[in-house]
Chain A
Amino acid sequence: MMLLRVLYAESLKMKRTIAFKMVVIAPVAVGLLILFVAAQAPFSMLRPNIPGDKWMPLAHLNLLVWAVLMLPLFITLETALIAGLDHAENQWKNLLARPVPRWTFYVAKLLIVVAMTAASTVVLLCGVLVAGAILPRLPLSVEVSFGLPVPWADMLRLGSQVAGLAFLMLTIQHWVSLRWRAFSVAIGVGILATVASYLMLAAGLGGWEQYFPWSLPMLVIARTPQNIEAALWAGGAVGFVVAAAGCWDFCRRDVK
């Protein structure tokens, strides 16, 4: 009940901020980029030489760019923005003096970013559908087909796995954003970690580096088969530990 109250209050704070808009802007940007690239180079992007519908190759492409680049940046920005609303002007001295348990603020903000991440991934998959409807109507150099039925279940499974594997990264960014008041710390950590994970991908995943929290979502679209289920369980479990530790730290800290 208390948690619902805090969620209700948190949702109002985000009014007129870019936080909600980013749920649409970030995946649409990826969708437009992939649509543009696929229209320019459909052979290399959509592999028309392999027979069958192109829904899954298109979904893979979108999720690849999403997992490697946009999702970590999206999570970095959203966690920093949501924490920054209360770091600015030190809102904590007002909020934490209300008759509400401290942990509810930490958990409510975490749930909001989790919901935003899930929603943005759904928007990305909707973008795949739109791109699938547009591409056959464009004068492409090769013929590609996006027939029916759309492989909803496979696309949703892939999308939810990518979003699920981002949970650990999300809990770390959430803790960093609430722990340090400076916006630059949260953004800096997110960007550095994203670049590091990209370099690891470029070097080729396969070793321990594939379990770097910011690299985990890439396991879904990695060329070599990965044990996604085990990674989801492990990432989820460690994510819960990080969230619990962050919440404990948040609850015991003095408000300056």
Chain B
Amino acid sequence: MEAPVRIEGVWKTFGSTAAVRGLSLSVPPHSVYGFLGPNGAGKSTTIRMMLGLQRADRGAVFLFGRPFAEERIAALRRIGSMVESPSLYPHLTGRENLEVHRRLLSLSRAAIDEALETVDLLSVGDRLVRNYSSGMKQRLALAQALLGTPELLLLDEPTNGLDPAGIHEVRTLVRDLPKRRGMTVFLSSHLLAEVEQVATHFAIISQGQLKFEGTPEELRARSRQRIVVEVDQPERAQARLAGVGRKVTCEGDLLLIEPEDEFGPARINAILVQAGVAVSSLAMQRSTLEDAFLELTTPSQEGGQ
């Protein structure tokens, strides 16, 4: 089955600033694809190029296996999107806001009720949007994106401005869409925590470049392990381990040590005990997804990526 989204070497420059630099990625069908990166990493620009709102300077976007630049209308017929903050007509009701898009999409009127019901706004659909709370506006924008049950849903920071209950609702909805409706969801966020519970695949970008693409398991596998030791004399322990060639980071009473085959937890423990250092705890710790995310997205001190 064709990848719903495939991007090949896309560049986008604003003035002298390159917002997206040679980005390539591929979104598997029926996945929830978490598109992660810090603010200003180029996520929204990428999504805008996927929707034809902005033109790539170089490279190509393929949607459903076809070049987007050549078959824009056909591709957009299969896409629902919500880019950044909700864009709604405040002087119209929720239902009328959806009606504007229903008319553009030439859908049946039943599609409006279906979308409102999905986001739990059916009972307030006839209320003017200017009287909606920010959470309700966010859900209405989501309903707008879901109108006509698209095959691909592009959501850019969909939980911005939502309270915890709203975030939970959106998360549940997004998680269920591939199963319930066979959709592929492309979900951009700057918050790993928001995406990691629902995403089946990740892409991480920083400064317009792809840093990682794969499953959460693959991201976890990249993450480093370390031995965390709690001792009574950290300086002495550090000096002893340095004496046998181990690089140790000291954080209070904790020593953080990079493991190696010959310097596993048992050997480290033995060295410290022999040196007269009391070890109160010793554990292997794998860095979290968040650590891996930060490591990938934090520019190095040398000025590299």
Contact = CB atoms under 8 A, between A and B. Distances in A.
| Interface size range on B against A | 20 to 34
Given A97-B81, A254-B55, A91 B73 contact: no
A58 B99 CA distance: 44
| Interface size range on A against B | 20 to 34
Contacts of B106: 5
Contacts, number: 77
A229 B247 CA distance: 90
A61 to B, nearest CB: 37
A99 interface: yes
Contact of A98 (B48, B55, B90, B105): B105
Nearest to A9: B103
A12 B88 contact: no
Interface in B76-98: 76-77, 79, 81, 83-92, 96
B99 A5 contact: no
Interface in A32-82: none
Contacts of B105: 98-99
B74 A94 contact: no
A96 interface: yes
Contacts of A15: 91-92, 96
B189 interface: no
A117 B21 CA distance: 48
Contacts of A99: 73-77, 104-105
A97 B76 contact: yes
Given A94-B144, A254-B53, A16 B103 contact: no
A156 interface: no
Contacts of B85: 89
Contacts of A97: 51-53, 76, 79, 81, 83
Contact of A13 (B52, B53, B73, B100): B100
B83 A9 contact: no
Contacts of A126: none
Contacts of A101: 73
B89 A13 contact: yes
B171 interface: no
B285 interface: no
Contacts of A157: none
A15 B52 CA distance: 29
B101 interface: yes
Contact of B48 (A9, A91, A93): A93
Given A89-B88, A90-B87, A97-B83, A5 B104 contact: yes
Interface in B26-65: 48, 51-55
A99 B75 CA distance: 8
B163 to A, nearest CB: 21
12 contacts: A5-B103, A6-B104, A9-B101, A12-B92, A12-B100, A15-B91, A15-B92, A89-B87, A90-B87, A93-B87, A98-B101, A255-B48
Given A12-B92, A94-B87, 18 more contacts: A5-B103, A5-B104, A6-B104, A12-B96, A12-B100, A13-B100, A16-B92, A89-B88, A91-B89, A93-B48, A93-B51, A93-B87, A97-B81, A99-B73, A99-B104, A101-B73, A254-B48, A255-B53
